[in-house]
A and B are shown apart, each in its own frame.
Chain A
Amino acid sequence: MNQQSIQGKAKVLSGAEIVWECLIQEKVKVVFGYPGGSNIPIYDALEKTYSNRIHHVLTRHEQGAAHAADGYARASGEVGVAMATSGPGATNLITGVATAMLDSIPMVCITGQVGRASLGSDAFQETDILGAMIPLTKHSYQVNDITMLAGIIKDAFYIARSGRPGPVLIDIPKDVQNESIEFLYPETRNILPGYNPKVRASEDQLAEVAQMISEAKNPVILAGHGVLLSGASAELIALAEKADIPVSVTLLGIGGIPASHPKCIGFMGMHGAYWANHAIQEADLLIACGMRFDDRVTGKLETYSPNSKKVHIDIDPTELNKNVIVDVPIRGDLRTVLTALLPKVKEVKHDTWAAQIKEWMKISKTKDILNRKSDEFYSAFVIRDLWEATQGNALMVTDVGQHQMTVAQYYYQDHQNSLLTSGGLGTMGYGLPAAIGASFANRDKPIWLVVGDGGIQMTIAELATAVQENANINIALINNGYLGMVRQWQEMFYESRFSQTPISSPDFLKITEAYGLKGYRVTERKDVISTVLEAQAHVGPTLIEFVVEPMEMVYPMVAAGADLNDMYQRPLTEEQFTDMDV
């Protein structure tokens, strides 16, 4: 590390105070955390000096703090900050950090550590959190010298938010928190010689891509999370319009192009749209933008989009040719690359291709559960009506499982950064704390968390956090009495042996009463919209329990390892459907 250049007048501060000063310099407004033996000095400094400048949210578990920081980061576009003590406090952060890592979320986690003299002695509440976090973070630090502290914090924020974002850990021994030093926030950051997030695509590559686009008959754009992270939505839409290319989105790419845009063909992959998967498989050109060909998106790799030429644009070079070998791998910031590409692309029309996709859409719509004649209460109805009641304008947060896929399918998202969901890691328990975190982002939107009866019980203690903070979140609890997604796999692939998937729950109305939030229960479709509107009008946290059909399945579905267009459709006869206008 290099000498910091220092400006202005120095004042003597403790390591703990320096932490807060640096957070203020990084314009941090809210921190999610939990105090303990090894970070008491940091919390003491907060109470003594800084609590009027940074709001601290006490979660009920450190996992909740990490997820809340993640939810805040996704909703605000800022770096989320989580704090925990050493040992169990730090290890409890791990699930939240891994979640943020796989979804490229900018986050800084500050953990207390035992004093330097005790390091390595298996002291009380000592764990090697740095060692544990190395494979799960973008970068990680242990501060063993107070003169390095401010520089490390500055670098950590820079690393977290630049390039492909990700979580950074800063582990601070307690005696470093207690030491004092003249503090001035470094004007310059340390040199990070091997870290160069800024790259430019070559002109040759762009000319080649433009040529491929002009020759393609059946092109498809695959839009991932990179579209949102890079702020490339406008450029992506411009490309889709200019070259008349349908756009399919990944789970985390939802909102990168409005669902209502005529070129948007919806969500791809295991539970993606039938027509989107067919379009990908039949395509002669794929332009993958800021996505990583996850196995949930490709199905069987050997048969994935077999006849297409492939272009892959990503800021992270390790993603190029990792899962799918492409013809043109382009490393670069998506927005920069698309901006440079656009003027080279000729205006073309692909009417036959669009008509073909529409045909696939018609086939699929006949199997849509929304068209089903039934008095049964399906979770898809809840999501569809929630969309209607909120006019598609809610900041949606989900947990993980069937309801998550249902939200992706039926909450037609027109807005950017408006679906918060654990895509890569698939972390149950993510939803509630993430929604609480999102409520601090000051987005002018109602927040709706959709969560299952399994997922909410993993982090249900955060209801107390929501009430303590009077967080303006609305919870749509989809209660089907099962761990539904696993139950679905057991029904389809394990001869309906429902091993450990039936799950009992407490009386959720009593739970809401006990925690002190407003609770409702809905058992029929006719009450969905009115209850949603009533809950949304209430200031502070609310929870609606929707008691739905226990055996509902998410369709369509690609079995793990099957071809992407080899989809299970909803197995129903025509009589079971109402007349449709598709």
Chain B
Amino acid sequence: MQKSEHTIVAFVEDEPGVLNRIVSLLRRRNFNIKSLVVGATERVGLSRMTIVTDESDSHRRVNMARNIQKLVNAYTVEDVTDVPAVIREYLLAKVSVSNGDRVALDLLTREYGAKIIDSEEGAVIIEATGYDMEISSFIKRLKSFEIVELMRSGKMAMRRGSHEELKAKLDMMTTDQAWTTSQIQSALQ
């Protein structure tokens, strides 16, 4: 992975407009998004985003995470750039096989642990997952065939190990309890 790449995972409320708030914030604070993946999680009402930027300044990296954390709809933010984490991408590629060597394509696909998931009317659709260098390398090799369409998903990240702190934090935050008026008042004091 390139050193200038910065990867964070944001846990946010699954509410309309939350993605808009995050993207708007990153644009406003002048961060350049390289990829952003959003999806559902193990918890109802909790969405998870993996955001990759090209920010290289360490203070600005912290500032970006804090800015997202400051949004009312954000539960917590983790910077996974410098911790052990699995960071993977998904690829869909459509390759024309009308003139090409189908056997060579099958071999290449197998070599990269990829899979042909559709084969109709002279083209096949291949899916692959892996870390970004693997995907890039696979795409490079696919270029010896005729690529019709291709899309990379952007990165998804998850820290390695049991990482109990995150679970505890989210357990606490997603507990179904409302604040009483006196708790609100004491929070305001």
| B86 close to chain A: CB less than 8 A | no
- A5→B180 CA distance, assembly (Å): 9
Chain B CB within 8 A of A478 CB = no
* Complex-state Cα separation, A447 to B186, whole angstroms: 33
Q: Is the CB of A194 within 8 A of B63?
A: no
Bitwise interface map of A from 156 to 200 toward B, beta carbon under 8 Å scored 1, else 0? 001101100000000000000000000000011111111101100
Q: Which residues of B contact A371 (CB under 8 A)?
A: none
The answer for the CA separation of A215 and B172 in the assembled complex, in Å, is 42
A193/B13 contact (C-beta < 8 A), A162-B187, A162-B188 known: yes
What string of 1s and 0s marks CB contacts (under 8 Å) between B153-189 and chain A? Answer: 0000000000000000000011011111100100110
Flag whether B49 is at the interface (Cβ < 8 A): no
Interface membership of chain A positions 247-277, coded 1 if the CB is closer than 8 angstroms to chain B and 0 otherwise? 0000000000000000000000000000000
Q: What residues of A have a CB within 8 angstroms of the CB of B28 in the complex?
A: 135
A198 to B185, CA, bound (A): 12
Residue of B nearest to A158 (CB): B184
Which residue of the partner chain, among B21, B63, B69, B184, contacts A322 with CB atoms under 8 Å?
B63
**Residues of A contacting B63 in the complex (Cβ-Cβ under 8 angstroms):** 318, 321-322
Contacts of A134 in B (CB 8 A): 17, 20-21, 24
A88 within 8 A of B: no
Q: B73's closest neighbor in chain A, by CB? A: A194
Q: Given the complex, which residues of B lie within 8 Å of A316, measured CB to CB? A: 70
Q: A2 touching B174 by the CB < 8 A rule?
A: no
Residue pair B173, A194 in contact (C-beta under 8 Å)? yes
Determine whether the beta carbon of B74 is less than 8 Å from that of A317: no
For residue A139, CB closer than 8 A to chain B, the reply is yes
Query: Are A193 and B174 in contact, with the CB atoms below 8 A?
Result: yes
Asked whether any CB of chain A lies closer than 8 Å to the CB of B50, the reply is: no
Count of A-B contacts with CB under 8 A? 71
Which size bracket describes the interface of A in this complex? 20 to 34
Contacts of A197 in B (CB 8 A): 187
> Which one of A159, A190, A320 lies within 8 Å of B178 (CB-CB)?
A190
A189 touches B178 (CB 8 A): yes
Q: In this assembly, does A201 line the interface, its C-beta being within 8 Å of a C-beta of chain B? A: no
Smallest distance from the beta carbon of A340 to chain B beta carbons, Å? 15
Instruction: Select B187's contact among A130, A198, A320, beta carbons within 8 Å.
Output: A198
B117 contacts the other chain (CB 8 A): no
- Give per-residue flags for A100-129: 1 if the beta carbon is below 8 A from chain B beta carbons, else 0: 000000000000000000000000000000
CB distance from B14 to the nearest CB of A (A): 11
Do the beta carbons of A2 and B178 come within 8 Å of each other?
A: yes
* B25 within 8 Å of A (CB atoms): yes
- CB-CB under 8 A from A318, the residues of chain B are 63, 66-67, 70
Q: Given A131-B20, A135-B28 in contact, is the A194-B76 Cβ separation under 8 Å?
A: yes
* A68: min CB distance to chain B, Å: 24
| Complex alpha-carbon distance, A198 and B179, angstroms | 14
Name the A residues within 8 Å of B174 (CB-CB): 193
User: Within A297-329, which residues are at the interface with B (CB < 8 Å)?
Assistant: 316-318, 320-322, 325
User: A4: CB under 8 A from chain B?
Assistant: yes
Residues in A with CB closer than 8 Å to B24 are: 134-135
Chain A interface, DSSP helix/strand/loop, else mixed: loop
Residue pair B178, A195 in contact (C-beta under 8 Å) = no
Whole-angstrom distance between the Cβ of B115 and the nearest chain A Cβ: 38
Binary flags per residue of B45-78, CB closer than 8 Å to A gives 1, else 0? 0000000000000010011001101111111100
Task: Decide: A188 near B178, CB < 8 A? Known: A161-B188, A318-B66.
Answer: yes
* Min CB gap B129→A, angstroms: 30
Give, as a whole number of angstroms, the nearest-CB distance from A8 to chain B: 13
Closest to B27 in A: A135
Chain B residue contacts of A4, Cβ below 8 A = 178
B35 shortest CB reach to chain A, Å: 22
Indicate if the CB atoms of B13 and A194 lie closer than 8 Å. yes
Contact A317 B66, beta carbon cutoff 8 Å = yes
Contacts of A139 in B (CB 8 A): 72
Which chain A residue lies CB-closest to B170?
A193
Contact of B59 among A161, A188, A194, A321 (CB under 8 A): A321
Q: How far is the CA of A208 from the CA of B28 in the complex (A)?
A: 35
Tell me whether B74 and A194 are in contact (CB under 8 A): yes
CB within 8 A of B75: which of A138, A193, A317, A321? Answer: A193
Partner of A317, one of B70, B73, B181: B70
In the assembled complex, the Cα of A131 lies from the Cα of B74 at a distance in Å of: 18
Whole-angstrom CA separation of A317 from B64 in the bound complex: 11
Task: Decide: A159 near B72, CB < 8 A? Known: A193-B174, A321-B63.
Answer: yes
Shortest CB distance B127–A (Å): 35
Q: Which residue of B has the minimal Cβ distance to A190? A: B178
Q: Is the CB of B72 within 8 A of A188?
A: no
Whether B180 pairs with A188 at a CB distance below 8 angstroms is: yes
Of listed A5, A190, A195, residue having the most chain B CB within 10 A: A195
Provide the residues of chain B in CB contact with A321, threshold 8 Å: 59, 62-63
Most B-side CB within 10 Å, residue of A2, A139, A322 = A322
Q: Are B72 and A130 in contact (CB under 8 A)?
A: no
Query: CA of A321 to CA of B67 in the docked complex: distance in angstroms?
Result: 12
- Which residues of the other chain, A, contact B74 by a CB distance below 8 angstroms? 194
Cα A170 to Cα B71 in complex, Å, equals: 16
CA distance A235 to B59 in the complex (A): 30
Q: Determine if A194 and B67 form an interchain contact, defined as CB atoms under 8 angstroms apart.
A: no
Would you call B59 and A325 a contact (CB within 8 A)? yes
Closest B residue to A336 by beta carbon equals: B189
Q: Which A-chain residue is minimally distant from B175 (CB atoms)?
A: A191
**Chain A min CB distance to B47 (Å):** 12
Q: Which of A162, A188, A197, A325 has the most CB of B within 10 A?
A: A188
Task: Other than A2-B176, A187-B181, A189-B184, give 16 A-B pairs with Cβ distance below 8 A.
Answer: A4-B178, A135-B28, A142-B17, A158-B188, A161-B188, A188-B178, A188-B179, A188-B181, A191-B177, A194-B76, A197-B187, A317-B66, A317-B69, A318-B67, A320-B66, A321-B63
Q: Measuring CB to CB, which residues of chain B are less than 8 angstroms from any residue of chain A?
A: 12-13, 17, 20-21, 24-25, 28, 59, 62-63, 66-67, 69-76, 173-174, 176-181, 184, 187-188
